[in-house]
């Protein structure tokens, strides 16, 4: 099941041009405010009419300017979750969940209802009023309501933007389950680097209406062209690894393509896949394999790219390192680059302290 979005539209400040294929899983649309992110999903939902293009899902045409097709919103099988939950205050959680199904005249399916309630952890909330729910609980109900309307595509417009950090961490595991179990194309609009890194399968970086980078999350986060959109502190790469062991000294050991990774202890089961966001500023480089150092993580790789650091005004560089199937990014100074005489194609060791990886940067693979 794939969603295809090819649209173009002139605005006073910029021109929106998008060519996107979104398969099952989460495609994050990432960029600064005013870049055109919400406009894209509004076009999919039928809430915005592009000047030209074509939008199709599962063989159904939502919009085609050449054929003068523009399916009304209510006839597009799309679920939409907004920044604010928009629950009905006079209905309890169960009635809110069932509203979308009834509005589309979909027959009751108890198995689907129970599956979605379980996936989103709503079992204990069904009889509650929206007034008795936390912000994270309200958003989980809104997502459940959208799923119970049997959509072919799910659109999430910055669903965590109104939540504090604690509530965001509360809901993220449920969004990971949604990504892995819903079997739907999900467009996830966000300007949060940590959310995109943890949840997305592929990422579209958009700026002033133009596609900057599009690809798998691991490739995009290590792409030099995406660096300027992420900011100095958030810039980094996403690695995928399998939990190998939990050690008694509070460290979890993962097996990655570039070698063993040691992180602060996680709750993941042995054998589970994890994704780890590693900030470029936390990665040191060494020509020789370092020994007798406190940093536990030493990954072997090959330099594939050296580019200017957009946040260093020409005083630093970004070094992209391939470790097996993964890409890693390191921010170093020009002095370090020259001292090590680093060149593309040469072997290198990437060094990372275990405590540099925060719990919020580790999620389900």
User: What is the 8-class DSSP label of residue 312?
Assistant: T
Distance, in Å, from the CA atom of 193 to the CA atom of 301, rounded to the nearest integer, reads 25
C-alpha dist (Å) from residue 26 to 15, 32, 201, 285 = 25, 19, 5, 32
Distance, in Å, from the CA atom of 8 to the CA atom of 5, rounded to the nearest integer, reads 10
State the DSSP H helix or E strand holding residue 298, giving kind and residue range, or none if neither: strand 297-308
Which pLDDT band, with edges at 50, 70 and 90, does 18 fall under? very high
State the DSSP H helix or E strand holding residue 5, giving kind and residue range, or none if neither: strand 3-10
**Structure-model confidence comparison of residues 231 and 96, the more confident one:** 96
Task: Give me the pLDDT at residue 259, please.
Answer: 85
Q: Rounded to the nearest 5°, which phi and psi values hold at 51?
A: -65, -40
C-alpha dist (Å) from residue 182 to 26, 54, 80, 174 = 10, 25, 15, 11
Statement: residue 286 has pLDDT above 90: yes
HEC assignment per residue over 146-196: HHHCCCCEEEEECCCCCCCHHHHHHHHHHHHHHHHHCCCEEEEEECCHHHH
Q: Mind listing the pLDDT tens digit for each residue in 122-148?
A: 888 898 999 998 888 888 898 888 888
3-state class of 115 per DSSP? helix
Q: Mind listing the pLDDT tens digit for each residue in 215-254?
A: 999 888 887 777 667 766 777 888 888 999 999 999 999 9
Considering the chain, what percentage of its residues have pLDDT values greater than 90? 44
Distance, in Å, from the CA atom of 200 to the CA atom of 124, rounded to the nearest integer, reads 28
Closest by Cα among 198, 245, 227, 237 to 324? 237
Looking from the CA of 124 toward its CB, the CA atoms found within 13 Å total 4
**Structure-model confidence comparison of residues 59 and 46, the more confident one:** 46
Task: Give me the pLDDT at residue 186, please.
Answer: 94
- At what angle are helices 93-103 and 135-148 packed, to 10 degrees? 30
Q: Rounded to the nearest 5°, which phi and psi values hold at 284?
A: -100, 155
User: What is the 8-class DSSP label of residue 47?
Assistant: S
Within a 10 A sphere around the Cβ of 337, how many other Cβ atoms? Answer: 16
Q: Which domains does the chain have, with CATH numbers?
A: 3-221 (3.40.50.300), 236-364 (2.40.50.100)
Distance, in Å, from the CA atom of 331 to the CA atom of 151, rounded to the nearest integer, reads 42
Mean pLDDT across the chain: 88
**Structure-model confidence comparison of residues 94 and 358, the more confident one:** 94
Of 69-83, 199-213, 226-240, 325-339, the least confident:
226-240
């Amino acid at each position: 099941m794939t969603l295809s979005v090819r649209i173009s539209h002139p605005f006073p400040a910029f021109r929106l041009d998008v060519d996107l294929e979104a398969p099952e899983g989460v495609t994050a649309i990432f960029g600064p405010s005013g870049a055109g992110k919400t406009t894209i999903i509004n076009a999919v939902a039928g809430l915005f009419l592009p000047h030209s293009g074509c939008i199709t899902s599962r063989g159904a045409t939502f919009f085609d300017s050449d054929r003068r097709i523009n399916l009304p919103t209510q006839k597009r099988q799309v679920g939409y979750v907004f920044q604010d939950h928009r629950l009905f205050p006079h209905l309890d959680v169960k009635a809110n969940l069932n509203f979308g199904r009834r509005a589309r005249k979909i027959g009751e399916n108890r198995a689907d209802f129970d599956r979605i309630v379980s996936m989103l952890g709503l079992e204990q909330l069904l009889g509650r009023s929206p007034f008795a729910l936390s912000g994270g609980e309200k958003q989980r109900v809104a997502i459940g309501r959208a799923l119970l309307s049997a959509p072919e595509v799910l659109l999430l417009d910055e669903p965590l933007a109104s939540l504090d950090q604690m509530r965001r961490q509360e809901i993220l595991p449920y969004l990971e389950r949604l990504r892995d179990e819903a079997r739907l194309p999900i467009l996830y609009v966000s300007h949060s680097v940590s959310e995109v890194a943890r949840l997305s399968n592929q990422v579209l970086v958009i700026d002033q209406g133009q596609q900057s980078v599009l690809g798998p999350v691991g490739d995009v986060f290590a792409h030099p062209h995406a660096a300027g959109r992420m900011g100095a502190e958030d810039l980094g790469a996403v690695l995928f690894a399998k939990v190998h062991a939990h050690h008694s000294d509070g460290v979890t050991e993962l097996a990655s393509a570039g070698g063993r990774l040691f992180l602060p202890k996680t709750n993941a089961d042995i054998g589970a896949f994890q994704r780890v966001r590693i900030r470029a500023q936390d990665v040191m480089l060494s020509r020789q394999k370092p020994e007798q150092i406190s940093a536990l993580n030493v990954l072997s790789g090959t330099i594939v790219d050296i580019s200017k650091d957009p946040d260093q005004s020409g005083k630093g560089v970004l070094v992209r390192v391939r470790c097996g199937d993964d890409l890693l990014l390191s921010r170093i100074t020009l002095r370090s680059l020259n001292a090590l005489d680093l060149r593309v194609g040469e072997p290198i060791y990437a060094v990372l302290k275990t405590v540099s990886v925060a719990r919020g940067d580790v999620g389900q693979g």
